[in-house]
Structure 1
Amino acid sequence: MKGHRARWAVLAAALLALPACGAAAEEAGTAGADDAPYVIMVSAGSDAGPVTDQLITGVNSVKAGVATVNESGGVNGRQIKLIESPDNANPTKAVSGLRAQLAKEKPDAYIVTAGTQVSSAVAPILNQNKILFMNSANIDDTADPKQHPLAFNLAASPRVVVEDYLPVFESNGYKKIGILHGNSPYAKNFGELSETVFKENGYEVVGKVEYDSAALDMTAQISALRDADPDVVVFNAYGAPTGYVLKGITKLGWDVPLLGETSVASTPLVTQEPPEGLLGSAEVKNLKIEVNAATVYDPAAEATNKAVAKMKELGGIKGAMVNVLGYDGVLLIAAGAKDAGSTDAAAIAKSLEKPEVNGNAGTAVYASYPYSAESHEPKLARGTHTFVDPAPIVNGQMGASK
């Protein structure tokens, strides 16, 4: 009997102690929340087909941003923990990875560095779970704070990219414009917007031709555009299609000025010498490519050069600096949190709408990201981009030493 009484006494004491232990654990968890890592999830992978280089570089840029912010004290005092989703820019896999992560631990922020379809797929889930979203693509939904109050586009507005063609038309006396674009959602939007902007500014669009990005020969489409007899051809392409477009024009013997959009500048094919690239070949003799200021090396650009040095440690940059927007996304999060004095997603978002915050974050690709309460698309000024002759790009920049 004494043994039974002793066992019951121990059990009763344990049961009485449980609520106190639970409360203590709860309080400890609450008290330690500010010391917990700030979790950023990034769409990642190593085999994403035509956007593999962009994806790998984008993830490296996020890692460099994380290292830079952590060295400076983290996000409002919280060190960043980076979680990679190995989805290879596949939207279905990205959604599965995000849902699996939510079941384990809700991330504080999410970054997409490559793949418009991934951005579109994860955006509603991030919105529903109140997770800050830094989007390297530029899609209408994530630019609208009424629909997605915690989402911010990092890429330049397509209108800014298109409007920066106008000074080139004017200085060269081009009047009749030909437009060649792919069949992806972004490429189609580029084609439609280009036609609208050029016509609005008094230029005649004599032909607008769409090609299949999966095609291995684009001679028929290029021939149709040649028949329209434009003064200049504006085109967009990324990866292999860039080569097929350029080779198709050469194959037809068409001697026409070519203005490649930022996607063309991001394709290593046009900034590398043979056998890997086309530099110095007939295919690029009439080509000028659209780049941002960060792509041209400037020894005085401290923020940009700091970012490049960090990324060189992590495997370097493939393509132009437009591929490293993820770095800026991390720094913007940190700047927003510092201004807000909080790591709450809504508080950070509200702070990022302030010019003094989005313009002083130490970003590398663009010096500022002019967001507002009305738009979470960076309203960059005309002249943000310029057109240059193709030249070797080393770690994202032209004119930089190896």
Structure 2
Amino acid sequence: MRCFLEKNVVVLAALAAMVVAGTVRAENGVTTDRIVLGQSVALSGPAAQLGIQMRNGLKAYFDFVNERGGVNGRRIELVTLDDGYEPGRTVPNTKKLINEDRVFALIGYVGTPTSVPVVPIISEAKVPFIGPFTGAEALRQPFNRYIFHVRASYYDETDKIVEQVISTGGKKVAVFYQDDAYGQAGLKGTELAMTKRGFKIHSLGTVERNTVKVENAVKTINASQPDAVVMISAYTSCAEFIRQMRKAGSAAQFYNVSFVGSKALAS
């Protein structure tokens, strides 16, 4: 997390330096003594721990930077709004941050379904979108000059997962995924990784976002007796899926992409 935050601040510092130098517009969010940033994340609901950790991590690091003089003498201020990991709340939050709070940049959004819908908004407003916590290709292709990535893509992550499974003798790889843009991105990455190595996905199971209704997925995937399961969902649904799979007698290995959050999953 510290590395992730440091990369965000490096990007922010570079952008702020450009503002001071007059190479980009500076009418919003930057004054002589502060830089105002906006964030929309889940502070409530089943994915709240990810949003809370991101907000707290950013704030802690910004406090650290501010205590040492800020960015080019400007203190960093963070305005965070709760979206409950629901795109229908993220979009109006983002518009408020841009149009009412007049932020310089948006930072630390959490999730694919909540990040993808704001791309047209930030593109039209010409507002930097720094370090979204998602590896979806939809935010990477086509290239967008206002999006600054500081983490690997889900294609990269799932490729390494599949490489590990295959190298240790596993061949039957199932995918448990969230039925939205995030899950589809991870599923596509897993499919590409398997195809590259001459294999096909063994079985599939889905879960609806912000729920733990995994019974059907458990029934389908467990019946196929996979060697490994790649999980692309939030920590609550992944934890419930593992719990029910073990209860059903599965001996499969479980892998998840980084979005799941290891501490949140374990707790």
Aligned to 2:149: 153
**Separation in 1, partners of 2:212, 2:101:** 44
| Deviation by residue 1:101-150 (Cα, 9 ceiling, x = unmatched) | 4444521111133233332233322222221111222343532474x312
**Separation in 2, partners of 1:178, 1:206:** 5
Which one has the largest radius of gyration? Answer: 1
Aligned to 2:168: 172
TM-score (norm 1): 0.52
Aligned to 1:54: 50
Mapping of residues 210-221 of structure 1, within 5 Å: 210-213=206-209, 216-221=212-217
Matching residue within 63, 66, 72 for 1:76: 72
Deviation at 1:215, TM superposition (A): 5.8
**Separation in 2, partners of 1:245, 1:116:** 21
Percent identity reads 22
| Deviation by residue 1:235-289 (Cα, 9 ceiling, x = unmatched) | 23323312331232123222333333334443624x24xxxxxxxxxxxxxxxxx
Does 2:147 match 1:138? no
**Separation in 2, partners of 1:88, 1:230:** 33
Mapping of residues 6-17 of structure 1, within 5 Å: none
Mapping of residues 305-344 of structure 1, within 5 Å: none
For the 8 Å contact 1:59–1:113, the answer to whether it is kept is: no
Mapping of residues 3-402 of structure 1, within 5 Å: 35-44=32-41, 46-47=43-44, 49-104=45-100, 106-134=102-130, 135-144=132-141, 146=143, 148-213=144-209, 216-266=212-262, 268-269=264-265, 271-272=266-267
Paired positions, count: 238
The structure-2 alpha-carbon separation of the partners of 1:225 and 1:151, relative to structure 1 and needing over 3 Å to count, comes to same
2:246 partner amino acid: T
Name the Cα RMSD after superposition: 2.9
For the 8 Å contact 1:181–1:211, the answer to whether it is kept is: yes
Deviation at 1:53, TM superposition (A): 0.8
For the 8 Å contact 2:36–2:76, the answer to whether it is kept is: yes
For the 8 Å contact 2:87–2:114, the answer to whether it is kept is: yes
**Separation in 1, partners of 2:166, 2:181:** 29
Structure 1 spans left out of the alignment, 5+ residues: 1-29, 273-402
Higher RCO by CA contacts (8 Å cutoff, separation 6 or greater): 1
Deviation at 1:56, TM superposition (A): 0.9
**Separation in 1, partners of 2:139, 2:212:** 33
**Separation in 1, partners of 2:116, 2:155:** 20
For the 8 Å contact 1:233–1:256, the answer to whether it is kept is: yes
The structure-2 alpha-carbon separation of the partners of 1:75 and 1:240, relative to structure 1 and needing over 3 Å to count, comes to same
Deviation at 1:91, TM superposition (A): 3.5
Deviation at 1:176, TM superposition (A): 2.6
| Deviation by residue 1:211-240 (Cα, 9 ceiling, x = unmatched) | 445665534433333343433332233233
The structure-2 alpha-carbon separation of the partners of 1:235 and 1:81, relative to structure 1 and needing over 3 Å to count, comes to closer
- Where 1:205 maps in the other structure, the secondary structure is coil
